[in-house]
Structure 1
Amino acid sequence: MTDSYKQIANALTIAGSDSGGGAGIQADLKTFSALGVYGASVITALTAQNTHAVTGVFPVTPEFVLQQLETVFDDIHIDAVKTGMLGGPEMVRTVAEFVRPRQLALVVDPVMISKSGNALLSPDAISVLVDELLPLASLITPNLPEAAAILGCDEPQTLTEMKAIAEQLLKLGPQQVLLKGGHLIGEESPDIFYDGSDFIIFEANRIDTKNTHGTGCTLASAITAFLAKGESAQNAVAKSKQYISAAIKHADNLNVGSGHGPVNHFHALW
């Protein structure tokens, strides 16, 4: 081993598989690799989907998810964990019970609805997510519809309303909140980072492309990768915003499907 040797961090994604390759486990592992982190995975569901629709979902049993978790952790040191599609209440509870006794950087992306409109988290799982998983999170990354579903309120329509929602989300127990504003109307797409003391606004111009499938998964897994590498949450979010913006900007270089295609995870390499 030389002085210049630098150990590569390990990150784990707990999420559903996307057969089209644009979101879920596939997007997470691509993002980890693009950002120089080794990726491991625990699969919670298999989906049949492409750039137009999710045509089928085959859930993995919570028992087998637990077996995957135990097997990975028995052998591999994990520096940060990201959760995505969890599906039902027992799955959420299984993941929360496994994570709770471990000191982990945990990013929770509360995946509820696919871009094509399919429900990916059952309504009865929301309360378990709120009560058992969100309080364990280093950071949560809801978009505006997800935040409204979590809090049982209307979607925020302005930056001021987003700040109020971010404050309410933080009261649920996570250490930090990144509230994504992509569903706001207008040319800007602001995200709000809130840690209990300061609001940091990350602004970005909307990019004219229909190829935005997997943006939420990619952003959350990028943050996880940077946390695994030792970055602070604020720095991890800032660097991840730069990464996802570039991935969207270069999305049209890909030729994947005729619907909502994926972002270009490897834009810096290809």
Structure 2
Amino acid sequence: MIVMSIAGVDPSGGAGVFADLKTFQAIGVYGCGIVTALTAQNPYKFFSTMPVSPEYIEEQIDSVMDSYEVEFIKTGMLYSPEIIELVSKKVKEYRLKAVVDPVMVATSGGDLTKEDIADAFNKYLLPQSILTTPNVSEAEKLSGIDINTKEDAIKACEKIRCNSIITGGHLDGINTININGNVTTIKQKLIETENLHGTGCNLSSAIVAHLAKGNDLKTSIVKSLDYVYEGIKNGNYGTLIAKI
């Protein structure tokens, strides 16, 4: 079972491609990593971003697909509308099943994108994806709806342009899931911790790993929520995660 992450590099290892590969391995699938940008950051401070050209991202994807049979992928930091459009083209070309983590801002506070890219996600990538995993802030940008309550999250979830889970770290632990128009919620107890870095990366990559192992989408989401929660509770991620 071979899966792929298309995301940025976090040199501290807590987020991005490095974190995704760790999660893939932990769940028992082989992961390939396509680099969209380099960042200088750690769990507490963001310094800078250096994007990779769309042409070189395309060559990376093609080189992996030349040798491996990949069905499920996740995307993380895509940086610009041009990169989003390129990834969307490759998803279509190779008939990939994409889980999109619509990364826009680093947990440590830095703007990871060239500009507001919500429109590009909605135009190019989400309509071709099987799931997106925004936090509340990202879901607001994708849906155009302010989210302050469970009811707001349900409305936003229904408006986002593919199946979605709006994660509940900033909504009293309520995760709002929409699969094929069927909206459900799963509430998890929030854990007080300073380990905020990389949660969204771990969730989306865990979902991809569970899908690759033959689970359906809802089961993969539930198992991945449990995986992330247990990692937070037991401190298995080192300096990683708390709220998504």
Structure 2 length-normalised TM: 0.95
CA distance in 2, matches of 1:224, 1:216: 13
Alignment of 1:74 onto 2:58: no
RMSD over equivalenced CA pairs, Å: 1.6
The number of residues matched between the two structures is 242
**1:40 maps to which of 25, 28, 32:** 32
Distance in 1 of aligned mates of 2:182 and 2:86? 33
The residue aligned with 2:128 is 136
Does the alignment pair 1:162 with 2:160?
no
Alignment of 1:103-122 (within 5 A): 103-122=95-114
Which ranges of 4 or more aligned residues in structure 1 deviate by more than 3 Å? none
Return the alpha-carbon distance in structure 2 between the equivalents of residues 98 and 252 of structure 1: 34
Residue in 2 aligned with 1:178? Answer: 165
CA distance in 2, matches of 1:152, 1:203: 24
Please state if 1:208 is matched with 2:208: no
Measured against aligned partners, the alpha-carbon deviations of 1:102-154 in whole angstroms (never above 9, x if no partner) come to 32221001001111221122335322211110001101101110011122332
Q: Paired residue for 2:41?
A: 49
**Which structure has the larger Rg?**
1
Q: Tell me, in whole angstroms, the C-alpha distance in 2 between the residues paired with 1:205 and 1:77.
A: 38
Amino acid aligned to 1:179: I
Of the structure 1 ranges 38-47 and 102-111, higher mean CA displacement relative to structure 2 is found in 102-111
Give the 3-state SS of the residue equivalent to 1:12 in structure 2: strand
What's the CA shift string for 1:15-68, capped at 9, x where partnerless?
000001100111100000000010001000011111221112111111100000
CA distance in structure 2 between the partners assigned to 1:263 and 1:36 by the alignment = 21
- The code of the aligned residue for 2:103 comes to V
- Cα distance in 2 between the residues matched to 1:150 and 1:159: 17
Deviation at 1:252, TM superposition (A): 7.3
Residue 262 of structure 1, aligned match among 233, 237, 240: 240
Identical residues among aligned pairs (%): 38
Residue 89 of structure 1: aligned partner: 81
Unaligned runs of 5+ residues in structure 2 are none
Using the size of structure 1 for normalisation, the TM-score is 0.86
Tell me, yes or no, if structure 1 residue 189 matches structure 2 residue 194: no
206, 213, 222: which one pairs with 1:229?
Answer: 213
